[in-house]
Chains A and B, each alone.
Chain A
Amino acid sequence: MKSAKLTVSALAVIAASAGVASARDQIQVAGSSTVLPYATIVAEAFGENTDFPTPVVESGGSSAGLKKFCEGVGENTIDIANASRPMKDSEKAACKAAGVTEVIEVRIGYDGIVFASDINGKDFAFTAADWFNALAAEVVKDGKVVANPYTKWSEIRADLPDQDILAFVPGTKHGTREVFEEKVIAAGCKEAGATEVFAKEKGDEDKAKEACSALRTDGKSVDIDGDYTETLARIQSAPNGIGVFGLSFYENNTDKLKVATIGGVTPSTESIASGEYPVSRPLFFYVKKQHIGTIQGLKEFAEFFVSDELAGPEGPLAAYGLVADPELAATQTAVADEATIAQ
């Protein structure tokens, strides 16, 4: 028994040392949970249609993915980072410091952010200003800055339903939160004319900006740190709540959710592509150019991802909810040329 155990543990040690020397043959991808479904669809199709193994796609969020991406160059670092926002300057600096000096930025398309409520609830037609007035910590009422007094949507604008304000917004770790703050709350702030009042009262513009995007903390606005599935579950248990979702999630759950319009425009891949629907953001993935050649199939995967068959308006990604990039051809050329970004 003793010798058997010794043999087994010896085998494990030998296996451990053998593995370090062997090369990695599959692509490693990590990052944004918004890009994840698209990346898995492409990875699956890539594995089916080529001789390369199916890439391994990890989730974890844009920031976590980019952090892993910028850890360095080598087989035990990832090859591609998915992100639902462009790389920040600080991340570029971190990459450069770790020796990741050549990075290819690939924009795969756009994602819409929609507001949806329970299918059996009331219809909503919002403007960005409504959202600012409903969720901001401080609003402007009669020309004065006051702590948010609204408790019902109808108090903000008479056309809105007489329903308690309850919103499920993505938590701060999500890339979606930034877009929500910038394109909805900050835009609504301006639309409601609160920016100038804030600037006058607070002294300078930076403080006004901060005041614009500060959300109320009295329980009317609930941060969801989990995924959209959690937001959906919260709406099902609190039917008067309104949740913030990605367009693709909504499109897969149209039997449970009712979508609200923004400025009279219903979100759809068409209205987002045309720019009519205001709340959208580009989705990216970043390729470590230094790995092209070492990791088999890396460039092929990047090209496959942005090919017309997949990322085009008729492809499976658009069918899942991605808004195809009108400038896809330029992206394809950039990937083919391995054009890197400035760091």
Chain B
Amino acid sequence: MSDASFPTAAKTPRTSLLAADPRTRKRNAAEARFRAYGLAAIAVALVMLVVLLVTIFSGGIGAFRQTYLTIPVTLDAAQLDKKGNRNPEDIKKVLTLTYGKILDKALDAAIADKGIQVAGLSDKDLSGLISKEASADLRDRVLADPGLIGQTIEARVLVNGRVDGYYKGRVSMESAARDANTSPAQLELADALKAQGMLATAWNWSFLTSPDASDQRPEAAGVGVAILGSLYMMLVVLALAVPIGVAAAIYLEEFAPRNRWTDIIEVNISNLAAVPSIVFGILGLAAFINFAGLPQSAPIVGGLVLVLMTLPRIIIPARAALKAVPPSIRDAALGVGASRMQSVFHHVLPLATPGILTGVILGMAQALGETAPLLLIGMVAFVKNFPAAPPEGLFDPASALPVQVYNWTQRADPAFVERASGAIIVLLAFLLCMNLFAIFLRRKFERRW
């Protein structure tokens, strides 16, 4: 019996690890296919991302460059200060219209001075070359320093959006011929001025610092007020949603008894996280503006609405982070005589911090890009004045970055499309910074057990 051989061993088919049998080949093929599907899915996603980024960047990068004209301007005292007493009150009575005429005259003189000749150039082409923003800038400059009156100063002024578009490839001689707002002659004049070194396309900081502009001067529009408005709203979210959300998460996770009430609360929090954001806008309008009497278009109201929206999105990851801390940590703390609060605040919370912070930052990033709830509370508005410093500034009207994008895509002038893409780039840069910060925090403080 003992020396009996294993009869079955001879019957099993001979297989080699080197040569796969059909069944293994089939399984291997299935795995290869699955990998290919996965790769294809990622490739599709990447192509979409690249298309999106290329469209936005190719369309929006132009917003960061702007064409300027530098001309000597004679500030005629007879026009700007008729009484000749340099009284600021009297100078204020001179409107931008007069300054516009002064600029037109200065441009005319500069052309004559350089001997530029353009066939078929009309007065409208000439005065239309300079942006309407320029006269307002010049007026501000004179009001700030009335001593300039009577002198000849170098003025660096914006040029019309169409001429600017010509140097960015948006406008061509052919399209200009059909365009009611520019003409080939105007573009030729711009070319001649460029040849003289008076006209140049340069980096445009004012896109980031200046406020919105009306439909007639897209070249002057910037995202300054929108950036500040978004920043203020994020401050409100940080100041309210983070402490409330984290406190709620700690209580629910560490202290609350498990009963029907906490179950109901839990289900509600998960539900709220999935509620469409416009609903929070409706709530904000009813509660904060109509009932509490807070001002319209103010970052405080926008911020409060976003707080409501962000809260569940902070509570859920914060609870998950707290849950991920092993119970042994709590037991050890309680074992050496710590109170429950001490065990939470001295041991559990510090270990959960990276997870909580990641949740907070991602929640805020989502809030930053939110437009729908702001539609109803008057944030989708033309706001030209910068809000004051907080806390008063929280009550001043302001715009927000996603809203500014929405606003600009509705304008008639095609130059605003470029501005909208530029604003998207700014928004993406903000989001990227926030997400990178979240990753940095996670990497830096992450603990593994």
Query: Is A30 in the interface zone, CB < 8 Å from B?
Result: yes
Give complex CA distance A94, B188 in Å: 57
Cβ 8 A contact of A253, one of B176, B385, B412: B412
Measured CA separation A181–B312 after assembly (Å): 47
The 0/1 profile, CB within 8 Å of B marked 1, for residues 17-39 of chain A is 01110101010101001001101
Q: What residues on B are CB-neighbors of A41 within 8 Å?
A: 214-216
Pairwise interchain contact B391-A229, C-beta atoms closer than 8 A:
no
Report chain B residues within 8 Å CB of A229: 409-412
A57 at the interface (CB under 8 A from B): yes
Give the distance in Å from the alpha carbon of A19 to the alpha carbon of B95 in the complex.
34
B78 at interface by CB-CB < 8 Å: no
Compute how far the CA of A255 lies from the CA of B413 in the bound complex, rounded to whole angstroms: 11
A191 within 8 A of B: no
**Cβ A19 vs Cβ B294 within 8 A:** yes
Q: In the bound complex, how far is the Cα of B395 from the Cα of A37, in angstroms? A: 25
A251 — which chain B residues lie within 8 A by C-beta?
180-181
Using known A-B contacts A19-B394, A24-B295, A76-B296, determine if residue A40 contacts B382 with beta carbons closer than 8 Å: yes
A interface secondary structure, majority: helix
| CB atoms of B378 and A30 under 8 A apart | yes
Hey, which chain B residues are within 8 Å of A36, CB to CB? 382
Instruction: Report which of A9, A20, A45, A254 forms a contact with B240, defined as CB distance below 8 A.
Output: A9
Task: Name the residue on A nearest B298 (C-beta).
Answer: A19
Interface residues of A in 94-127 (CB under 8 A from B): 119
Judge whether B319 is part of the interface by a CB distance below 8 angstroms. no
- Does any Cβ of B come within 8 Å of A227's Cβ? yes
A40 near B215 with CB under 8 A, answer yes
The answer to whether the Cβ of B441 comes within 8 Å of any Cβ in the partner chain is no
Determine how close the nearest CB of chain A comes to the CB of B266; give it in whole angstroms: 24
Query: Among the interface residues A44, A78, A227, which one has the most CB atoms of the partner chain B within 10 A?
Result: A44
| A37:B215 contact, CB within 8 angstroms | yes
Q: Report which of A11, A24, A48, A255 forms a contact with B96, defined as CB distance below 8 A.
A: A48
Within the complex, what minimum Cβ distance (angstroms) separates A35 from chain B? 12
| Residue in B181, B215, B293, B394 with the greatest tally of chain A CB atoms within 10 Å | B215
The reply to whether the CB of B302 lies closer than 8 angstroms to some CB of chain A is no
Which residues of chain B from 236 to 266 have any CB-CB distance to chain A below 8 Å in the complex? 236, 238-240, 242-244
* Distance A320 CA – B216 CA, assembled complex (angstroms): 7
B95 x A15 contact (CB < 8 A): no
A54 lies within 8 A of B384 (CB):
yes
Known contacts being A41-B214, A43-B382, is A56 close to B297, with CB within 8 Å?
A: yes
The answer on a CB contact under 8 Å between A253 and B395 is no
Residue of B nearest to A16 (CB): B300
Determine which of A9, A37, A54 lies in contact with B412 in the assembled complex, contact meaning CB atoms within 8 Å: A37
Is A150 among interface residues, defined by CB-CB distance under 8 A? Answer: no
Q: How many residues of A contact B (CB 8 A)?
A: 60
Q: Contacting A11 at CB < 8 Å: which of B178, B391, B409? A: B391
Complex: A249 Cα to B381 Cα, angstroms? 20
- Say if the beta carbon of A75 comes within 8 Å of chain B: yes
Q: How far is the CB of A51 from chain B (nearest CB, A)?
A: 8
Shortest distance in angstroms between A252's beta carbon and chain B's nearest beta carbon?
4
Given that A24-B295, A40-B215, A76-B294 are known contacts, is A12 also in contact with B240, CB under 8 Å in the complex? yes
Is A237 positioned at the interface, with any CB of B under 8 Å from its CB? Answer: no
Bound Cα distance A226, B406 (Å): 12
**Partner of B243 from A5, A15, A39, A43 at Cβ < 8 Å:** A5
User: Complex formed: what's the CA distance from A309 to B240 in Å?
Assistant: 48
Chain A minimum-CB-distance residue to B408: A229
Q: Are B411's CB and A15's CB within 8 A?
A: no
Q: Are B236 and A12 in contact (CB under 8 A)?
A: yes
In the complex, what distance in Å separates the CA atom of A58 from the CA atom of B92? 28
Give the residue name and chain of the B residue nearest to A50 (CB). B92
B414 within 8 Å of A by Cβ? yes
B132 within 8 A of A: yes
B51 to chain A, nearest CB (A): 17
Whether A56 touches B395, Cβ cut-off 8 Å, given contacts A28-B297, A45-B96, is no
Known interface pairs A40-B215, A255-B178; A9-B296 also in contact (CB < 8 Å)? no
Kindly identify, within residues 224 to 241 of chain A, every residue whose CB is under 8 Å from any CB belonging to chain B. Answer: 226-229
Q: Which residues of A contact B391 (CB under 8 A)?
A: 11-12, 14-15, 18-19
Chain B residues, Cβ within 8 Å of A18: 391-392
A59 within 8 A of B: yes
Instruction: Say if the beta carbon of B213 comes within 8 Å of chain A.
Output: yes
| A residues near B294, Cβ cutoff 8 Å | 16, 19-20, 76
Complexed CA–CA distance, A182 and B39 (Å): 57
Asked whether any CB of chain B lies closer than 8 Å to the CB of A171, the reply is: no
Question: Among B180, B236, B384, B407, which residue has its beta carbon within 8 angstroms of that of A44?
Answer: B384
Q: A8-B243, A9-B239 are in contact. List 17 more A-B contacts (CB 8 A).
A: A5-B243, A8-B238, A12-B239, A15-B390, A15-B394, A22-B392, A24-B295, A26-B385, A28-B397, A36-B382, A43-B382, A47-B385, A57-B382, A76-B293, A249-B412, A254-B178, A316-B216
The 8 nearest A-B residue pairs measured at CB: A15-B391, A54-B384, A19-B395, A37-B215, A40-B214, A57-B382, A255-B175, A58-B381
* Selected A-B contacts with CB under 8 Å, 8 pairs: A11-B391, A15-B300, A37-B216, A54-B383, A249-B412, A252-B215, A255-B171, A320-B216
